[in-house]
Amino acid sequence: MPIKVVDQLPAVEALSAENVFVITESRARMQDIRPLRIAILNLMPNKVATEIQLLRLLANSPLQVDVELIRLDNHVSKHTPESHLNCFYRYFSDVQQQNYDGLIITGAPLGLVDYEDVSYWPQLSEILAWADRHVTSTLFLCWAAHAALYYYYGLQREIRGDKLSGVYWQKVVQPLCPLVRGFDDSFLVPHSRYAQVPKQKYQQHADIHVLAEADVTGAYLLQNSSGSRIFVTGHPEYDLTTLNDEYIRDVAAGLNPKVPENYFRDNDPAKGPMKLWQSHAFLLFSNWLNYYVYQATPFDLSRVGEGRNA
């Protein structure tokens, strides 16, 4: 089944070229079904690229998904044209009275900035509190995952000695959990971050369950007991060239970065990257949509959040 987006969104053309099933808003009006309402709070600098990455994964499902792009009220994007934001995004203040079946909050390039020093931390905190009352399940990616763990549980990250950059094997440690249903025992995921939360800190909270991890990356996939909060500390949504683009950017900035590990053929940037994580990325998003959103959300969206402990 397709995802539904605004007719003129640039991602439509890019995804259609990949044979990804996308229908426009005008066509969807002719269908008489109850689609899932998924909001995306896109904090990444290149919002158009991230839109394509996430919509590609959401489209790989038998469920129809209506996607709404959300922006912060008082944050000015430096890398995405204001015309694009005005056309395709809605301010959080305009939707905060609404309910959603699911919410995705992306990462952000803020790995070395204290949470409280982030300019939009007050509104992000407001959104995290709002999600517990207005969203059936929220999926947090990379920086957003660590920020949410800090907000909800007070778990402070630790800054690594060097940036974690590359594609790393993850081991499933809770194979009976629906979120990893169908996963191989080990699977690959891109990571790109400076921070990490030690495992012993997770173990202090009975509400946090680690589903997949690795020694080098720490916990990769976590959830709370109810499944209303899903924490993904890597970037399963990344395109083939995303890590390469970041590496080139860091080289140009004089940061002397390490070559992303397990990413280029023979670990040689001149030979180009390999994409070895896409199948598990599709499965992760499909499992989330099915087991944590579709199977858990009420048919009447006005009932989202009823009886939930914030």
DSSP conformation letters of 231-293: EE-S-TT--TTHHHHHHHHHHHTT--PPPPBTTBGGG-GGG-B----HHHHHHHHHHIIIIII
pTM greater than 0.85 (yes/no): yes
- The catalytically annotated residue of 146, 235, 246, 280 is 235
Res. 234 pLDDT band, cuts 50 70 90: very high
How many distinct structural domains can be found in the chain?
A: 1
Residue 200 lies in a domain: yes
**What is residue 205's predicted lDDT score, i.e. its pLDDT?**
94
Q: Which residue has the higher pLDDT, 187 or 83?
A: 187
Catalytic residue from among 146, 237, 246, 280: 237
Instruction: Evaluate whether 135 touches 38 at the Cβ level (below 8 Å).
Output: no
Q: Does a structural domain hold residue 179? A: no
Short-list 131, 246, 226, 138, CA closest to 177: 226
Residue 253 lies in a domain: no
Domain presence at residue 184: no
Quote the pLDDT of residue 279: 96
Amino acid at 200: Q
Structure tokens at 3: 């995802």
> Is 108 a member of any domain?
yes
For the question of residue 79 being annotated catalytic, the response is no
Residue 61 has pLDDT above 50, yes or no: yes
Establish whether 78 is an annotated binding residue: no
Average pLDDT of span 73-96: 89
Pairing of strands 218-224, 208-214: antiparallel
The verdict on residue 310 lying in a domain is no
pLDDT of residue 147: 97
Does residue 17 fall inside a structural domain? Answer: yes
Q: Which of 145, 146, 148, 147 is nearest to 132 (CA)?
A: 148
Q: Which residues contact 44 (CB under 8 A, 6 or more apart)?
A: 50, 106, 107, 108, 109
| Six-digit token string for 67 | 């996607």
Three-class secondary structure of residue 110 per DSSP:
coil
Is residue 68 part of the annotated active site? The answer reads no
Q: Determine contact, residues 230/140, Cβ cutoff 8 Å.
A: yes
Quick check: is 246 catalytic?
no
Single out the catalytic residue among 142, 209, 213, 246.
Answer: 142
Residue 211 belongs to domain spanning: 3-158+195-237+279-303
Q: Domain for residue 175, yes or no?
A: no
The percentage of residues in the chain with a pLDDT greater than 70, rounded to a whole number, is: 90
Is 163 annotated among the ligand-binding residues? yes
Q: What are the backbone dihedrals phi and psi of residue 132, each rounded to the nearest 5 degrees, phi first?
A: -65, -25
pLDDT of 17 over the 80 cut = no
Instruction: Compute the distance between CA of residue 242 and CA of residue 239 in angstroms, rounded to an integer.
Output: 5
pLDDT 10s digits, 118-170? 999 999 999 999 999 999 999 999 999 999 999 999 999 999 989 999 999 99
Residue 137 sits in a domain whose CATH number is 3.40.50.880
Task: Please check if 186 is assigned to a binding site.
Answer: no
Residue-averaged pLDDT of the chain: 90
Q: Rounded to an integer, what distance in angstroms lies between the CA atom of residue 200 and that of residue 49? A: 35
First to last CA, the chain: 33
Length of the chain: 310
